[in-house]
Amino acid sequence: MKDVIRTTALPAVLGGAVVAVAFLALGPVKERTTTTIERAAASAAIANPTSGLTAHEIYQRAAPGVVYVRSESVQTTNNPFDLFPQRQRSVGTGSGFVIDQTGRILTNYHVIAGAQRVTVQFEGNKSATARVIGRDQSDDLALLKVDPSGLPLHALPLGSSKTVQVGDPTLAIGNPFGLDRTLTSGIVSALQRQITAPNGFAIDNVIQTDAAINPGNSGGPLLDGNGRVIGINSQIATATANAGTATDSGGSVGIGFAVPIDTAKKVLPQLEKTGTVKQAWMGILGGTTPSGVVLQSVRSNGPAARAGLHGRDVVTALDGQKITTMEGVIASVGSKKPGDKVTVTYLRGGKSHTTTLTLGTRPDNLSAAR
C-alpha cells in the first residue's frame, strides 16, 4: 500500500545536507511484537484544569477503546519466466477506535485500502473479523463493523473539533510500529491545515499536533484533555537528510495531522447507509491571486464549464461571500451537497459577472477530475 502521500524539498542547507519534508500516511506497517509504552505528558497536558484528569487517567479510560487493525491482501503477479501466476500476500497494521456498542469502528481508509480481510484486536487479545461497511477516500476515513457478541467493546466519547484551540492539550493512542496501545501527548500546534487524501484531493480543517505519532498510529484517536476524540490521526511530516530513501526513518518530528472528528461525524450516516460518500464538486483547478481565485483550468463539461466559467476567470465570491483563496473555495464547496446550486461572482476582462452553478459529484480521484 502506498505510504508516501506527498514529498516536498525545502530550499535550505543545514550542516551541508539538504533537508526535505515528507508527508507520510501513518500506516499500515509490518507486524511486530506488541508492548505498551506510556510517555510522560508534556507540562501543558499533565492535567486538564477543567476536568482535572491526568494523562494517565485519560489513558486508563480511553485505551480499552483503541483497537489494533490488521489488513490482509493477496495480489496475483505474472512472471514471463513462470508457467503459473504468483500469489503475493501482504499484511499491514494500523489503529482504530470503537464508536458505539453495536461494533462500529473508525479508522483511516489507507489502513484498509485493497484489503480482502480485516481483523480487529481488542483489549485482552480478543480478535474478530471486521466488515468494511464504508470507505471515504476523500477524507481518508473507513467505517468497520464487528459482531459485538462476547467482545469487550469500549466506545470512546466523540468531542467536537470546532471548539479546539491552539495550545489545547492533546493525547494520541495507537499502535506505532506495532507497539500496542502506545500513549503520547502534546498540544494542538495549529488549526485549519490541509493534507492530501489518498485520492489526491485536499482534506480541510485538519488539526496539527506535536504529540508524537508514527507509522501505525493511522486511524487511532487524537484526544482532548477531557478524553474526548477530536481527530483521527492520519499523516505526519518527517524531516531527514535522506527523505524518501531507504535510510529515511519515517519517524515523527513533532508535526502530525489528524482528520477532524466533525468531518467523520458528517460522513458517518452516508458511510453506513451507502458504503461511500458523495462529495460536491465544481470541476476547477485554481490559484490564489490578490483579486480572488484565478481558474487555472476548467473541467470540460464539468459543473463550472456548464455554468459558463472559463480558464483565467477570477472567482471573487460564492453565494455572496467573498472568496480570497482556493482553500476558501474548497471549504465552501465542501459544506454543500451534489446538486446544490451556488451563485458564483467572477471577473472576466476586468468586468464582474454572476452565474448560477449546479454542483456535481466529485470523481473518485484527482486525476479523473483534471
Instruction: Check 71, 95, 110, 161 and give the catalytic one.
Output: 110
Phi, psi for 129 (deg, rounded to 5): -75, 135
Q: State yes or no: is 313 an active-site residue.
A: no
Instruction: Give this prediction's pTM.
Output: 0.75
Contact in structure between 98 and 156 (CB atoms under 8 Å): yes
Q: Give pLDDT, residue 173.
A: 93
Give the CATH class of 280-369: mainly beta
CA distance 117 to 132: 9
More confident site: 11 or 343: 343
Q: Domain spans of the chain?
A: 1-274, 280-369
Residue 261 C-alpha cell reads as: 472528528
Residue 218: active-site member:
yes
Closest CA to 316 of 296, 283, 292: 292
Q: Among residues 140, 168, 180, 313, which one is catalytic?
A: 140
Architecture category of domain 1-274 in CATH = Beta Barrel (2.40)
Indicate which residue of 95, 185, 218, 252 is catalytic: 218
Active site residue 154: no
C-alpha cell of 160? 467536537
**113-172, pLDDT tens digit by residue?**
988 899 999 988 899 999 999 999 989 999 999 999 989 899 999 999 999 999 999 999
What helix, strand, coil percent values describe the chain, rounded to 5?
Answer: 15, 45, 40
Residue 181, by phi and psi: left (phi above 0), alpha (psi -120 to 50) or beta? left
Q: Is the pLDDT of residue 33 over 70?
A: no
pLDDT at residue 314, as a whole number: 94
